[in-house]
Amino acid sequence: MNTFKEKLSQGEVVYGQMVLELFTPGIGPMLAAAGMEFVIYDMEHGRCDIALASEMIASCRGSDIVPMVRVPDLNLNPISRVLDLGARGVMVPRVETRAQAEDIVAQLKYAPEGRRGVALGIAHDLYRAGDASFFSQANHDTAVIVIVETVKAFENLDDIVSVPGIDVAWMGHYDLTVSMGIPAQFDHPRFLSAMDALVTACRRHGIAPGFLPPTPASAAHWIRKGFRAISLGSDIGVLLSGVRNFHRGVLAGIEE
């Protein structure tokens, strides 16, 4: 059972973290120990390749965390390869049309829901090929996350989020502001309107909006607004913030 999907289907908020730099086998279990429910290993902007992704996914076995992967591009075929490694979900960047969203779902689901290629008795099924029931269960368990991060994506937002099989529509906030011509202006009315539009569209079609807020205050604000798949910053941001705060605390203590 994919607890990430199950909790979202019940209307709950699910917490995790995006990992771009700290690709140690302990990072997934450490996040689980900190109360996180999912981890997304980033192959788009992080230093993760397919071999490293395989090791990171395997390292999550035995913990409660749900390992997922952000692939570099929707044209990196087959994007289902990370599922064969054991990932429980796939995040795909730069989704701008319904046709792209439909193709992503098709690549990640076995027939009759899609066209995912079949390889059994490998990492994703722990080297034990199952019976015919495996395919429907795998389709049910696989989380599909599309990132909407351009003006074109928001022009087609309702068409994208209404595609059957999508579980999360994720706000690509930096890219969207660049696409809008308002780089990193996250308090701009046009960006805030897009955030509201994403929540509204996701509610209408019964899926979850996702976001990576940079601070606890930002996370609380957007959860109250309706976002339910939440990356608590990234590994880089949280580590830097934690070390800076620790350092400031030490300096303040010395000066007392």
Which residue in the list 45, 140, 221, 247 is annotated as catalytic? 45
How far out from the chain centre does Cα 76 lie? 17
- Identify whether 45 is a catalytic site residue: yes
**Nearest in space to 89 (alpha carbons), one of 166, 22, 164:** 166
Query: Which string of DSSP letters, residue by residue, matches the chain?
Result: --HHHHHHHTT--EEEEEESS---TTHHHHHHHTT--EEEEESSSSS--HHHHHHHHHHTTTSS-EEEEE-S-TTSS-TTHHHHTT-SEEEE----SHHHHHHHHHHHS-TTT--PPP--SSGGGTT----THHHHHHHHH-EEEEEE-SHHHHHTHHHHHTSTT--EEEE-HHHHHHHHT-TT-TTSHHHHHHHHHHHHHHHHHT-EEEE--SSHHHHHHHHHHT--EEEEEEHHHHHHHHHHHHHHHHHHHHH-
How far out from the chain centre does Cα 181 lie? 25
Q: What residues act catalytically?
A: 45
